[in-house]
């Protein structure tokens, strides 16, 4: 399977479909009966109280966890049994709550590794790439897109937390995803850096990438989302447009109750 053939371009196409998804640890049920679909170019946010199962859902979609039952499809391909790397090649990108960067490498080296993984070839931490090779060009393009081109040679450890979040996006964008999973992208980011980061995420969406985002900052969620999925106690409580979800009494009860 090639990435080109697995990414339909028509507006309204279903690019991600989760059906009957369930997962748990031992005898503990974490998620049960999750059904969620995302259309091409759509922005869907997943919210809910702490412990509702939001990150577990992202981990199941990205392949970090294997479900007990149910299925995950990306661009029409059943990926339920595939590894995360195979899902990436089919067009799925993902950022994490905590940094997944290589702090001892430069900004451009981090982005280049992701580009090389998608393009194909050896992932070598010590070899010097040829000037102008495809992976390096794609990495520089991604850094320019997120506003970090001028920091390309800086070590990751020298970046602010907000710039690290931008680099994480650049790393994911280097693989040219059609669906992007964002797990609390503004977590730990200062007030001053949140605005530019939000604008960057919006620009990625406006360029046609479908986004599924877990986020706690409700003003951000309401502003950018086309639909909001609310999780509570491992299940989907409701899915709808922001105005509908915010007016739902069950949503207010779930948050005020604080459980999950």
Domains defined along the chain, listed by start:
13-91+179-260 (3.40.50.300), 101-176 (no CATH)
Tell me how far CA of residue 99 lies from CA of 69, 104, 163, 164, in angstroms: 30, 13, 11, 8
- Whole-angstrom distance, CA of residue 60 vs CA of residue 74: 12
For the entire predicted model, the pTM comes to 0.86
Residue with structure tokens 């992701």? 114
Residue with structure tokens 């279903």? 14
CB 230 within 8 A of CB 224: no
Q: pLDDT truncated to tens, each residue of the chain (260 aa)?
A: 333 334 444 456 999 999 999 999 988 999 999 999 999 999 999 999 989 999 999 999 999 999 999 999 999 999 999 999 899 889 999 988 666 788 889 999 999 887 877 776 544 544 444 556 788 899 999 999 999 999 999 999 999 989 999 999 999 998 889 999 999 999 889 989 999 999 999 999 999 999 999 999 999 999 999 999 999 999 999 999 999 999 999 998 887 664 43
For residue 29, give every residue at least 6 positions away whose Cβ sits within 8 Å of its Cβ, in sequence order, or none.
22, 234
Q: H-helix or E-strand containing 137?
A: helix 134-146
Establish how many alpha carbons lie within 13 A of residue 131's alpha carbon, considering only the half-sphere containing its beta carbon. Answer: 0
Give the bridge partners for 161, in sequence order.
Answer: none
Tell me how far CA of residue 16 lies from CA of 8, 37, 130, 240, in angstroms: 12, 6, 36, 17
Separation of first and last alpha carbons in the chain? 39
Q: Which two tokens stand for residue 95?
A: 């950022």
Give the bridge partners for 232, in sequence order.
Answer: 235
């Amino acid at each position: 399977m090639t990435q080109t053939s697995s990414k339909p371009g028509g507006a309204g196409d279903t690019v991600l479909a989760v059906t009957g998804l369930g997962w748990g640890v031992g005898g503990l049920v974490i998620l049960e009966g999750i059904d969620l679909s995302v259309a091409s170019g759509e922005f869907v946010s997943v919210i809910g109280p702490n412990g509702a199962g939001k990150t577990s859902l992202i981990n199941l979609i990205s392949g970090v966890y294997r479900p007990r039952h149910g299925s995950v499809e990306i661009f029409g391909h059943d990926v339920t049994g595939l590894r995360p790397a195979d899902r990436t090649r089919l067009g799925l990108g993902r950022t994490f709550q905590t940094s997944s960067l290589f702090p001892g490498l430069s900004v451009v080296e981090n982005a280049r590794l992701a580009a090389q993984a998608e393009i194909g070839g050896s992932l070598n931490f010590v070899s010097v790439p040829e000037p102008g090779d495809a992976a390096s060009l794609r990495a520089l393009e991604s850094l320019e897109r997120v506003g970090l081109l001028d920091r390309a040679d800086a070590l990751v450890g020298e970046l602010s937390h907000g710039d690290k979040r931008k680099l994480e996006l650049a790393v994911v964008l280097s693989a040219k995803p059609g669906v992007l999973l964002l797990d609390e992208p503004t977590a730990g980011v200062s007030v001053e850096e949140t605005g530019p980061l939000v604008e960057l995420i919006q620009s990625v969406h406006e360029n046609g990438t479908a986004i599924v985002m877990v986020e706690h900052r409700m003003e951000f969620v309401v502003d950018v989302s086309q639909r909001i999925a609310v999780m509570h106690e491992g299940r989907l409580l409701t899915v709808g447009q922001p105005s509908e979800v915010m007016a739902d009494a069950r949503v207010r009860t779930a948050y005020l109750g604080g459980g999950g």
